[in-house]
Amino acid sequence: NEIRPASAAADTATSRPNNLEAYWMPFTDNRYFKQHPRMVARGEGMSYFTPEGREVIDGTAGLWCCNAGHGRREITEAIQRQAAVLDYAPNFQLGHPIAFEAAARIAEITPEGLDRVFFTNSGSESGDTALKIALAYHRARGEAQRTRLVGRERGYHGVGFGGMSVGGIGGNRKQFGALLPYTDHLPSTHLPGQHAFTRGQPEHGAHLADVLENLVALHGADTIAAVMVEPVAGSTGVLVPPVGYLQRLRELCTKHGILLIFDEVITGFGRLGTNFGAERLGVIPDIMTMAKGLTNAAVPMGAVAASNDVYDTVVNSAPNGIELFHGYTYSGHPLAAAAALATLDLHRAEDLPGRARAIEPAWQEAAHSLRDAPNVTDIRDFGLIAAVELAARPGKPGERGQNVFRRCFDNGVLVRVTGDIIALSPPLIIEKAHVDRIFGTLTEAIRAEAG
Ligand code: PLP
């Protein structure tokens, strides 16, 4: 049963592509990139390797997703074994065992009561699925008028029309016109003047949740279907919820019969030192989205966990036949389900949340050691996430961030930038030496950029 890489796959670890033009790259400055391509071709543990073999420490777990590190044989072998047994079977009106097994294993680690798992292929699909389930739930209860969806400024729920509309990032929306009607946004939880250099959760700001009462007063509670937020907003620059904020939001949603949806696409699977952010923050939503760390990103998979009440209400409201007119060809894909099971095994065997918790103090200390570096205006952290915010170069927002990103990569560390915010979210297997290397390289890059 020896598993050997296919020769074509082995070649991709050392070769560079001849044609860069055909691929229209996502969220990328295609013209710049194709003149200055930056590639990784192999991954192992905490590191990527360029086609020439240069090591780049992964400070971002890919895109917040390779929580168990790269090249985990346990996962790739599970995928290969499954491919040899059943490559694909539809999940519309037909089952295959491994998808049920994966759903049951996910339900074991979701917060209590969120035991019903719907499979998707990405965080974006999970976001749109969660919103559609919320709408179907209210309709099933005879409250079809509850169609308003509330998100939050600087929230990111992927790029589907639902997630994009409920998300609060102007830059992601402005090319696409009006988007979904009947969406509203709570203010961001970040108070720049007051939260700078906070370690962990800011003490002040729970009152920002009360803006939901204004929306209720304006539109009527009986028009609002759901509030969707990330427990910690990641991709817009690591915005950590103030103490008590999510509790307040939970109370208000319960009071007004509004479903609370947590987007746990990056906070799930150990990133905050617990299985899900809900656990660390002590608030249980009605619906939760996930993706990324679910399969360690080895193959695409997302999921939505719904409460038993949500599931029962939707399923029992249908007189007969299909209860939810929603699903994807690849929902519960056997290879993804195999990857999820192997990932969940690693998650448990290596106690990845525990590892994240153990190294969090050193991570926090290292992040905040950049406080006196030039142009640093804020540092935020929570769990194994951190952000270092830089003052924008006058008249050139984002340029400083890009330069720091490129300099770090050239010096062997992958960081992520959003404008002038550097975000970090390493694999949870990170050790102290990697922490020092990541923040050391980042400090040098920030200094060089100022000099
Ligand atoms: N939700 C959150 C909180 C995310 O951070 C992301 C991706 O970064 C998504 C949703 C979208 O996930 P995907 O890119 O898999 O569609």
Predicted confidence at residue 161, as pLDDT, reads 97
- What whole-number distance in Å separates Cα of residue 294 and Cα of residue 32? 33
Going from N- to C-terminal start, the domains of the chain cover 7-68+351-450, 76-349
Ligand 1 in reach of 99 Cβ (< 6 A): no
DSSP letter string over 126-160? HHHHHHHHHHHHHHHTT-TT--EEEEETT----SS
Ligand 1 in reach of 236 Cβ (< 6 A): no
Whether ipTM exceeds 0.90 = yes
DSSP letter string over 393-408? BTTBTTHHHHHHHHHH
Q: Give me the phi and psi of 31, to 5 degrees please.
A: -65, -45
Predicted confidence at residue 12, as pLDDT, reads 77
Please state the rounded mean pLDDT for residues 116-137: 98
Predicted confidence at residue 9, as pLDDT, reads 56
| 8 Å CB contact between 422 and 407 | no
Which of ligand 1's atoms lies nearest the C-alpha of 127?
10
Which of ligand 1's atoms lies nearest the C-alpha of 123?
12
Determine which residue's CA is closest to atom 12 belonging to ligand 1. 123
- What whole-number distance in Å separates Cα of residue 357 and Cα of residue 363? 10
Residue-averaged pLDDT of the chain: 96
Ligand 1 in reach of 158 Cβ (< 6 A): yes
Q: Is the pLDDT of residue 3 over 50?
A: no
Ligand 1 in reach of 300 Cβ (< 6 A): no
pLDDT, tens digit (0-9, with 9 covering 90-100), for 263-279: 999 999 999 999 999 99
- CA–centroid distance, residue 189 to ligand 1 (Å): 19
Predicted confidence at residue 52, as pLDDT, reads 94
| 8 Å CB contact between 166 and 134 | no
| 8 Å CB contact between 100 and 94 | no
Tell me which CATH code domain 7-68+351-450 carries.
Answer: 3.90.1150.10
Q: Can you name the CATH fold of 76-349?
A: Aspartate Aminotransferase; domain 2 (3.40.640)
Q: Closest by alpha carbon to 234, among 154, 129, 305?
A: 154
pLDDT confidence bin for 8, thresholds 50/70/90 = low
Determine which residue's CA is closest to atom 13 belonging to ligand 1. 123
Please state the rounded mean pLDDT for residues 193-211: 95
Q: Give me the phi and psi of 223, to 5 degrees please.
A: -110, -5
- A 10 A CB-CB count for 175 gives 6
